Amino acid sequence: MSKEEWAKKVKAELKDRDLQQLIWHTPEGLDIKPLYTPEDLDKIADIRSYPGCFPYLRGPRATMYANRPWTLRQYAGFSTAEESNAFYRENLKAGQHGLSVAFDLPTHRGYDSDHPRVLGDVGKAGVAVDTVEDMKLLFKDIPLDQVSVSMTMNGAVIPIMAAFIVVAEEQGVKPAQLKGTMQNDILKEFMVRNTYIYPPEPSMRLVADIMEYTSQYMPKFNSISVSGYHMHEAGATAVEELAFTLADGLEYVRTALKRDLPIDAFAPRLSFFFGIGMNFFMEIAKLRAARVLWAELMEPFKPQNPQSLMLRTHCQTSGVSLTAQDPLNNIIRTTLEALSAVLGGTQSLHTDSYDEAVGLPTPKSARVARNTQLILAEETGITHVVDPLGGSYYVETLTHSLKTHAKALIDEVEALGGMTKAILEGMPKLRIEESAAKRQARIDLGQETIVGVNKYTIEEPPLEILEIDASKVRKGQIKCLKEIKKSRNGRLVEQLLNQLIKAAKEGENVMPLAIEAMRARATVGEVSSALEEVFTRYEASTRTIHGVYGSLYGEKKPQELDDFRKRVAFFEKETGKRPHLMVAKLGQDGHDRGAKIIASAFEDLGFQVDVGPLFQTPEEAAREAVQKHVHVLGLSSLAAGHHILVPQVLQALKEAGGQDILVVCGGVIPLQDYEELYAQGVAAIFGPGTPLLSAAETVLNLLKKNVSALNGK
């Protein structure tokens, strides 16, 4: 039989089979067939392009990794500036190419380490930076004219950028010599990450101030990195991450153009940042589609420089795909995600450590993460060919489908008046939260397999973790702050801060005065407060979605859901009140994905649920719980503040007369900390991967044991 006859026979067999049962309906709304053929590519024109040529499907550079591999850029920062500096220098010696700085949550939110609202957050999940002196220690013996520095900073971006420029100046490095990226992407903070300070409109003005300043004085520095990563982590599908990220980018372009900046003065220095999850080919296609879409979106602005059309991106492997259960599996997950990013054509990459679902990376796990990239770059041979999956029937079709669906969502955002207006209406945030709730339901139902969590589970001993003593770090920071305030020219600092307030009121670019203030040793908190005096501090309204988790769960397991709701109804009949849960986020941790999913799911299961505002102190959360007469206070922790914040909540509840309220905890809490929390009075702890119906059953059973106390309320 000839090849042609054999092909006809196979096609006939395929037509005879019911392929509809094999079609994969992805969370993005794409229908993936089990077989792709040359015919699928007939109407896709982009695949005939070359790397380095419009629309950059195959990469922004002609030779890609064949000429130079991607930049190995590990995101890190913890405790004090000295400890982070030692970690950076060790990584640079071990093969890392650039630095990526993680700041602690108080710094993100514009608070100095001595502020009363940040007791449990200093030095956790990032490095504490209060003044230029901290920044000097952070970059000690690291030549800023040679090393590219990326900084994840958005809320307090003005004082942090100013401090960085002053530190470079005191090293003898001019602003024009600095290379790197300031994230400076405030829009995604209002969607998912929540480390904002000011309302959206003045925040966008500060973004433009930095874009304007860098275009004039820092030609090698990327003034903004438009981030989809945090959307990915919050539960966005690939289509949502792609569309909302590029829509954010469009908003920043228009903001810069309103400052009369020529498109080619800033667009070549725009960069992007995407998360990379476990859907291997989807993530490859996402990066390829992003380049094509961005080139097409930028074309109407008529840039003369081709680099204004090129999407360049940093990628990070997914934190949300890491599991606390059987954590060595995370090494495999991270390797596959890193390979996706590389095959998709990323320009730089961070690989997560396998222990990040339980705590900060240890030196051992950080080495494994770094070496994952070195092995991919130097042992696999994949760097020798540009876009090795180019022309794949499946990858090219998937890329085209993603592009088409993402463009439709971008058009939806544009119809609302652009991303700032869409965010004010809450559309992107609610879409992402709905996707996150759907995914949680699929995981709980076993429709989406996570090895070690809902399939092939084993018991593992606790991992060794890196502990940060936030109290000790805070004491050290406060001591330094006192010394700096004592030694500086206080009158000059006050004068400069007043000038900064005046500039903010009059619409001037605040960067030059912020640099002057930081040079005089003003603090991050003082500069942020000066701007807050003009712009105010933003407080978002809390909204939750309804019915998503319950409808999906009820569709697949209606009896199970109905039985539980009957138990809830019986509890209400017995006590006169539905089980009442309040979910609280304490401290400066704004990552509320888990808290929102829990609130949404528990409400669908029959509970009465309140969600406290973000950034509560322990006293505020306890007071609200008592005022609302809740049965249970659920504390969501991701930033390792539980050692300090949970005991304070328990004490505050006693002082407010709420000792009968059950306190439960969820999130990233190491197993070895459980006994300590139980001994302090925590009733239950739910680690990552806990099925929500199972968690609800535990809470309901605990309440039944506490019925006599509840009836006394």
Known catalytic residues are 75, 229-230, 585, 589, 591
For residue 455, the cross-strand partners are 451
Helix 511-519 / helix 157-171 crossing angle, nearest 10 deg:
60
Burial 533-553 (b: 16+ CB within 10 A, else e): ebbebbebebebbeebbbebb
Closest C-alpha among 552, 491, 547 to residue 520:
491
Structure tokens at 256: 């810069």
Three-state secondary structure call for residue 66? helix
* Distance of alpha carbon 89 from alpha carbon 85, whole angstroms: 6
Q: Using CA of residue 375, residue 376, residue 380, residue 386, what is the dihedral sign?
A: negative
Look up tokens 């922790």; give the residue: 637
| Per-residue CA distances from 382 to 19, 315, 340, 542 (Å) | 34, 17, 12, 46
Amino acid at 318: S
Contact 600, 430 (CB under 8 A): no
Contact 591, 193 (CB under 8 A): yes
Structure tokens at 323: 């599991």
Closest C-alpha among 51, 164, 156 to residue 110:
156
For residue 667, the cross-strand partners are 637
| Per-residue CA distances from 409 to 29, 185, 301, 404 (Å) | 12, 20, 20, 9
What count of other Cβ atoms lies within 10 Å of the Cβ of residue 8?
12
For residue 583, the cross-strand partners are 611, 634
Closest C-alpha among 114, 205, 118, 98 to residue 157:
205
For residue 25, the cross-strand partners are 31
Look up tokens 């059973």; give the residue: 701
Closest C-alpha among 312, 379, 314, 344 to residue 75:
314
Question: Can you give 125-187 as a three-state secondary structure string?
Answer: CCECCCCHHHHHHHCCCCCCCCCEEEEECCCCHHHHHHHHHHHHHHHCCCHHHCCEEECCCCH
DSSP 79: B
- Provide the CB-side half-sphere exposure for 399 (13 A, CA): 29
Burial 419-452 (b: 16+ CB within 10 A, else e): bbebbeeebbbebbbbbbbbbbbbbbbeebebeb
